[in-house]
Structure formats: structure tokens, C-alpha cells
Amino acid sequence: MSDILRLPAEELYKNELEALIRNEKEPVPSGWKMSPKSVLTYIMGGKSGDTVITPKYMGDRRIVEICIATLVTDRALLLIGEPGTAKSWLSEHLTAAINGDSSRAIQGTAGTTEEQIRYSWNYALLLAKGPSHEALVKSPVYTAMESGSIARIEEISRCASEVQDALISILSEKRISVPELSEEVPAKKGFSVIATANTRDKGVNEMSSALKRRFNIVVLPAPADMETEINIVNTRVAQLSDSFGLTAKLPDRTAVERVVTIFRELRNGQTLDGKVKLKQTSGVLSSAEAISLLINSMALAGSFGNGVISDSDLASALQGAVVKDDSKDKAVWAEYLENVMKKRRDCAGLYAECKERNS
């Protein structure tokens, strides 16, 4: 096991990427490491020669096809969705497969400046020697243009509007100008941008329509059905617990099913059978949260319990995940417990634990 907390996708799935490149039969677009079809196989899973490719994204194949086709046409790609719908995950894996390098990423925050999108200077060198190539500090977008690869911009809507606007010229002209050196750097073939944005976040800067027009927009949905979501949660929990070296046993199917059921019901505002209407919580309760919840309870069980996730571990983790905005969520959770969970016979233990914690 590696001692790095989180390996980038291209390291983690090195074998798969190599196998796909080795067995490539289709034409490869310039600047790409493999053909669009192989990228699709890498993301959706399948087989390449003898190597089994694990699925990275579980969901609608068409969506991934649209994403890849967008990048083939040198258009920029904007992934939109609720928190936890695998936007960043998908963008990381797309760049890992297309360029073999997912590291050219900018994290959008309220403090991101235009320099971080374009370029900045090593001021010591700048003062000492004046503007020169050595003094230039290139942004990930800059290097991506130079090398003809894909840059990632995470949470683009958290950046201030003027920073977002810096992208407009880059995306339409496909070149970056450095007036200090009286130079213009044209993008090589293969350059593109994948940006992600949240639909549920508060305090974001709405993207201008000028910028939106330069992107092909793909909306990532929450998992369509229970089975897919259970599958996603199971796979990721196993992967994560492996890389964290957790000692507890993996959660059994009923535990996962219960968590996913609770999350789906609260997210959709009704029970799975559609018979009871429910209030929704302030949080989104995404599959990503379900995963971290289960990892959390595994850690609890491993460190302080007997190594098997008990109702009590699950209840603690659920309490933390569901009740975010104290007064309102607490009432919603209490109502859910009384109206839905109490009536499910097999959940009696979990119900009692949850109730105790929510009181």
C-alpha cells in the first residue's frame, strides 16, 4: 500500500490505462493518449485485452459519451450537478484517460485570482532581471495550452465574475497573450477545459451567459435507481477502506441498503413506495455523503467497537450526516424516524438508537 493519502487517478489505475493504450485499435485524436472509445471503456468499465477495466462512473452511458464527444470537438465541457454527483470524479478520470495526467487543476474559490487562471510572476526574479521566461509562473491552463492537454477548473462558480471572465478569451481565441514579453502563446491541438459547478451551493457567482455559451453543458443526475446507488456506495466504500487501511469489516448489504434508502427518501421528499410525503433536509444527502457516512461508521466500529458496524455506530453517523442545520433538520429527522422508520419492523434497533441521539 502506498503511503500517499490519495493517489491521482492515473497512478491508481495505471495498469488499466496502459492496457487500453496497448490494445488501441481506433484512431487517436491529436493530443490524446487513446481513442474516444477507449476513454469510454475506461470510464464505464469493460475489458481491454485480458485486463478488466473497473467502472469508474456508474450511471447513464449516454452522458459520458456526450462528455467525451464534446472534448473531441475541442469544445470546453461544463459539468453541472448537485453536490456529490461525481462531477469532479468524472472530470479527474476523463483527464487521466485522455492525457494520462489529471494534475492540471485549479480549485475555484472566492480567493482565486485572474493570475491563477493565466500566469503570474516570480517577483524576486522579475525585480532582479525584468520580465523573462524564467520569471514567468505558468498556470495549469497555460501549461495545458502549451502541451495541448486538458485543464480542469473545479467549482468554477465560486470564483469571482472577473476571474471567470478571464476564461472567455482563452476559450474563444484559444491563445493567451503575455504583453510583458510581447508574446502570444497559441494552444496546441488537444487543449480543452473541463469545469465543474454546483447547483445547490449558496454564495456562488452566477456564470455569465457569455461564458456559458463557450461550454457544452452536461448535467449529472443523482443515481437513477436504488440498485445503481447501492452499487456505487459499495464499490467506493471498499476502495476507500482499502486505501485508508480500515480494520473494520465492510458494511453488509442491509446496512448499505438502509443508509441508501434513508438518503434517497429524504432527498426525494417521499418514501420509496411513494406513499408517504416527507419534508426535505437542508443538506443534499448525496451518494458521496452516504459513502463517507459508512466509512465514518467503519472507523467508529474499528477503533471503538468490535469491528462490525453496529446500529449504534450507524445511528451516530446518520445523526451527523442528516442533521446539519440544527433546529430544522432535527425536526425533519425526528419526523422521518417516527413516521417511516418506526413502522419498518426490521429497523427497530436502528430506530431506537437514532431516536436516542436525536432527542
Partner 1 sequence: MTVYYGVRHHSPACAYFVEEFLSRAKPDVLLIEGPADLSGLIPQLCSPEVELPAAILAYTESTPVHTLLYPMAVFSPEYAAMRWAVRNGVEVRFCDLPSYCVLSTISDKSEESQESGSPSIYERLESAAGMDNSSFWEYCFEQCESFDDLTAAVENYGRELRNFSEIAPHDLLREAYMRRIINECESAHPDGNIAVITGAFHTAGLKDVPYTERDKELTEHLTSVSSKATLMPYSYFLLSRRSGYGAGCKAPGYNELLWNCRRSGDIRESSAEYLASIAAYQREHGYCCSTAEVIEAKRLADTLATMRGGKLPNLADLRDAAVTCLGHGSFSEISVACADIEIGTKIGSMPEGAVCTSVQEDFARQLKELKLQKYRKMSAEELSLDLRENLRVKSEKAAFLDLERSFFLHRLSFLKVSFCTQKPRPQDNATWAELWELRWTPQAEIEIVEASLKGDTIEQAAANAVSLKLSSADSVTDTAELLDAAFECGLTECVKTAVSSVQRQTSECSSAAEIGKALGTLSGILRFGSIRRLDAGDIPELMEKLFLRFCLCIPAGISCDKIAADQLSEAVSAVNDACIAHDFLDGTRFTNLLLDIADSNAASPFLSGFCCGILMERGLISTEKLSELISRKLSPGFAADGALWFEGFSKKNRRALISRLSVWEKLCSFTAELSDEDFKPVLVCLRRAFSEYTPAEKSDIAENIGEALGISKHAAAEYVNASLSTDEQQSINELDDFDFGDI
Does position 125 bind partner 1 by CB under 8 A? Answer: no
Does position 212 bind partner 1 by CB under 8 A? Answer: yes
Q: Which residue has the cell 416527507?
A: 278
Partner residues linked to 77 by β-bridges:
194, 216
Give all strands (DSSP E) within 183-224, no chain letters. 183-186, 192-198, 215-220
Among 1, 4, 30, 73, which residue interacts with partner 1 (rule: CB under 8 A)? 73
Which residues contact residue 169 at a Cβ distance below 8 angstroms, ignoring those fewer than 6 apart? none
Does position 69 bind partner 1 by CB under 8 A? Answer: yes
Which C-beta is closer to partner 1: that of 75 or that of 342? 75
Q: Minimum Å distance from CB 145 to partner 1?
A: 20
Contact letters for partner 1, residues 215-244 (x by CB under 8 A):
-xxxx-------------------------
- Among residues 65, 74, 252, the alpha carbon closest in space to that of 57 is found at 65
Q: Minimum Å distance from CB 68 to partner 1?
A: 7
β-strands 119-121, 136-138: how paired?
antiparallel
| 276-to-33, 201, 336, 355 alpha-carbon distances in Å | 51, 28, 10, 20
- Rounded to whole angstroms, how far apart are CA atoms 353 and 314? 9
Kindly indicate which of the ranges 35-43, 127-135, 237-245, 300-308 contains the residues binding partner 1, using the contact rule CB under 8 A: 35-43
Angle at 234 between CA 349 and CA 198, to 5 degrees: 100
Which grid coordinates belong to 14?
495505471
Which C-beta is closer to partner 1: that of 30 or that of 182? 30
Q: Minimum Å distance from CB 9 to partner 1?
A: 21
Does position 40 bind partner 1 by CB under 8 A? Answer: yes
Kindly indicate which of the ranges 7-15, 74-82, 144-152, 272-280 contains the residues binding partner 1, using the contact rule CB under 8 A: 74-82
Among 6, 129, 200, 213, which residue interacts with partner 1 (rule: CB under 8 A)? 213
Q: Which residue has the cell 453496529?
A: 310
Q: Minimum Å distance from CB 216 to partner 1?
A: 5
Which grid coordinates belong to 164?
471567470
Which C-beta is closer to partner 1: that of 221 or that of 349? 221
| Whether 112 contacts 163, CB under 8 Å | yes
Backbone angles phi, psi at 77, to 5 degrees: -115, 130
Among 9, 56, 59, 70, which residue interacts with partner 1 (rule: CB under 8 A)? 70
Kindly indicate which of the ranges 72-80, 101-109, 115-123, 246-254 contains the residues binding partner 1, using the contact rule CB under 8 A: 72-80
Does position 21 bind partner 1 by CB under 8 A? Answer: no
| Whether 99 contacts 149, CB under 8 Å | yes
Which grid coordinates belong to 17?
490505462
Does position 78 bind partner 1 by CB under 8 A? Answer: yes
Which grid coordinates belong to 29?
485524436
Does position 327 bind partner 1 by CB under 8 A? Answer: no
Q: Minimum Å distance from CB 79 to partner 1?
A: 9
Which C-beta is closer to partner 1: that of 41 or that of 287? 41
Burial of 37 by CB count in 10 Å (0-12 exposed, 13-18 middle, 19+ buried)? middle
Does position 80 bind partner 1 by CB under 8 A? Answer: yes
Among 28, 66, 178, 278, which residue interacts with partner 1 (rule: CB under 8 A)? 66
Element holding 53 (H helix, E strand): strand 51-53
Contacts with partner 1 by CB under 8 A lie at 36-37, 40, 62, 65-66, 68-70, 72-73, 75, 78, 80, 209, 212-213, 216-219
